[in-house]
Amino acid sequence: MQRSPHWPPGLPHHLELPQTSLYDNLAVSARRYPRKPATIYYGRALEYAELDAQANALAGYLQQRCGVARGDRVALFMQNCPQFIIAFHAILRADAVVVPVNCMNRLEEVRHIVRDSGARVAVLAQELAAEMLPLRGEHLDHAVLASYCDYADPDTDLPVPDVVAQPRERLDGTVAWADALGERLAPSPHLAGPDDLAVMPYTSGTTGHPKGCLHTHRTVMHTTVAGPEWCFAPKDTVVLANLPMFHVTGMQNGVTTPVWRGNTIVVMTRWDKACAARLIERHRCGSWTAIPTMLMDFLHQDLSAFDLSSMHILTGGGAAMPKAVAERIRQLWGIDYVEGYGLSETMAPTHLNPVHRPKPQCLGLPIFDVDSRVVDPQSFEELPPGEVGEIVSHGPQVMLGYHGRPADDPETFVEIDGKRFLRTGDLAYVDDEGYFFMVDRLKRMINASGYKIWPAEVEAMLYGHPAVQEACVIAVRDAHRGESAKAVIVPREGHEVTPGDIIEWARGRMAAYKVPHEVEFRTSLPRSATGKVQWRALQEAEDGRAR
């Protein structure tokens, strides 16, 4: 691995981390900034001292009433809210392990995670009860039920999502959040250290059932500390948090990092572009992590009435940022969108663009203490600049493995030069300056008569058509070539276009074997809770039609 000459000036290559637990970050911030707002939620602020007190009260309840012991798993099933941040730290304060559950999951998906993780206790929001409470008695022994309205100002002038305005409910088989905290039970001394398990996020399940990633306090601490150090973030910045906190990117940028730094977190339960603009102006938000589709929506409104000048750090990933949108961001704020790359297996970023010299549609450089390489997927030999291979990464934020699946280790990790590297399954190349560029998923490649088609490359070219709002390329069976490319497209409003127009346009701009043989128009593309296009859902639907 060669180091880039464009490493951020003034930053060390090695990062010194606190040798403590993640809960200790909250305890320290509460001592340093007791009266500072930790969260602001639709008009109501919660100070750091009170957040810490509530986390301790809930930890005491989990230990004394629910029997939670060191190393036990506790499911956390909520949309973004102050209670998520409180419960996250309460579980850690109880020396237990947070099992974040995707709020879009339905009962059977939730059942798998609860059963697989071994969680016997859940802390959940009331609107999600139907997807969790049927497990009571079968897998779950205890459930603490939270209501978002308890932490929002009922008289706020902000547009409040219906789910936040919903009155508090009492459901059989649960204990109300307020009642649990109201017992004011003191937790036992905090024992967890940096090498204890802390968080078990589940993968998206693109290759079968989702798998739990085993993360310690140390692995999570690395990305918690690394992000703001890399971006030279001011200590007193206000953070806008609207990416789902159950996802590693939202968790890092909306929970662990701002709590470690003692930042104020402006929490949004549901995405609302107009509300986001008002919150940035009202609370002088300076740091925001957002995916490209969210920013495209945000910019698609009249922003002239808002003072958004406080914004100075804008980061994200998940998909390449269209160049036109990046330019609009530059015009609005005078800053670059800093793209990065990471996985649930790495608790988010292993790569980030240097803020002083980012490259568009680029994963960036390996960050502190990370050794990332592009290797041949069969021989694992490192490839020279410009050649496409699989990204493998070694670093402090890499998970220990998948929960209960040691047999997966040989396919998950590979030893190179005496180090254990995570196989990402992502294809990329490195340029002459050490920057990484995504090509596609290793398992997503389309094989057309032996020619390799990378869907992401074709999608990027299709975005150059003026009538294309969104595009996803999948494989279709081809009697002659084995497979061909199919483009699923959301047309831009006000543009008349036919499948033939798209195909003819593509013929003049890409190699013949890459040109989509079919084009399907849709009003929208399926997306995950984090905004990523679910190409596998489209592929599976196409495969089903071909049977």
- What is the tens place of the pLDDT at every residue in 334-344? 999 999 999 99
Chain centre to alpha carbon of residue 419? 27
- Note the pLDDT tens digit of each residue in 500-528: 999 999 998 887 888 999 999 999 999 88
**Residue at token pair 């306090």:** 217
**Same domain? 132 vs 147:** yes
The model's confidence at residue 444, banded by pLDDT at 50, 70 and 90, is confident
> What is the pLDDT confidence band of residue 206, given thresholds at 50, 70 and 90?
very low
Q: Choose one of 440, 471, 502: the last residue of a domain.
A: 440
pLDDT tens profile 130-155: 999 999 999 999 999 999 999 999 99
Number of domains comprising the chain: 3
- Does 381 reside within a domain? yes
Q: What is the mean pLDDT of residues 442-468?
A: 83
Q: Are residues 322 and 468 in the same domain?
A: no
Return mean pLDDT, the chain: 94
Are 340 and 424 part of one and the same domain?
no
In a domain, 6, yes or no: no
Nearest CA among 357, 79, 282, 69 for reference residue 196: 69
pLDDT of 531 > 80? The answer is: no
What value does the mean pLDDT take over residues 340-353? 96
Which residues have a Cβ under 8 Å from the Cβ of 499 and sit 6 or more positions away? 518, 519, 520, 521
pLDDT of 353 reads 97
Residue 68 sits in the same domain as residue 195: yes
Could you tell me the CATH number of the domain that includes residue 492?
3.30.300.30
User: Both 290 and 421 in a single domain?
Assistant: no
pLDDT at position 460: 85
Is position 94 within any domain?
Answer: yes
Whether pLDDT at 441 is above 90:
no
82-86 average pLDDT score: 99
**Segment 402-412, tens digit of pLDDT:** 999 999 999 99
Are 537 and 469 found together in one domain? Answer: yes
Please give the residue range of the domain that contains residue 422. Answer: 370-440
5 or 145, higher pLDDT? 145
Quick one: 280 exposed, middle or buried, by C-beta within 10 A (0-12, 13-18, 19+)?
buried
Give the tens place of pLDDT for each residue, 34-79: 999 999 999 999 999 999 999 999 999 999 999 999 999 999 999 9
Q: Are the C-beta atoms of 256 and 348 separated by less than 8 Å? A: no
Query: What pLDDT shows up at residue 204?
Result: 64
Of 104 and 335, the structure prediction assigns the larger pLDDT to 335
- Note whether residue 352 is domain-resident: no
Domain membership flag for residue 13: no
Asked if the structure places residue 158 within a domain, the reply is yes
Do 307 and 227 lie in one domain? The reply is yes
- Of 137-146, 263-272, 474-483, the least confident: 474-483
How confident is the model at residue 1, as a pLDDT?
Answer: 61
Q: Is residue 4 a part of any domain in this protein?
A: no
**Of the candidates 440, 460, 476, which is a domain's last residue?**
440
pLDDT value of residue 35: 99
Same domain flag for 209 and 278? yes
Select from 148, 96, 154, 97 the least CA-distant residue to 125.
148
Which residue, chain included where needed, has tokens 């078990």? 200
Helical H segments across 356-514, by residue range: 409-412, 455-462, 499-507
pLDDT tens digits, one per residue of 296-315: 899 999 999 999 999 999 99
Evaluate whether residue 108 is within a structural domain: yes
Q: What is the pLDDT of residue 87?
A: 99
Q: What is the pLDDT of residue 208?
A: 58
Residue 222 has pLDDT above 80, yes or no: yes
Tell me the mean pLDDT in the region 103-121.
93
Residue 205 clears pLDDT 60, i.e. is over it: no
CATH code assigned at 376: 2.30.38.10
* Shared-domain flag, residues 406 and 526: no
Predicted local distance difference test score (pLDDT) of residue 336: 95
Identify the pLDDT of residue 461.
86
Residue 103 dihedral angles phi and psi, to the nearest 5°: -70, -10
Residue where a domain stops, chosen among 412, 440, 468 = 440
* Residue 142 belongs to domain with CATH number: 3.40.50.12780
SS3 label, residue 179: helix
Q: Say yes or no: 175 and 111 in one domain.
A: yes
> Are residues 426 and 478 located together in one domain of the fold?
no
Q: Are residues 133 and 218 in the same domain?
A: yes
pLDDT, mean of residues 226-254: 96
Q: Which residues pair with 475 in a beta bridge?
A: 485
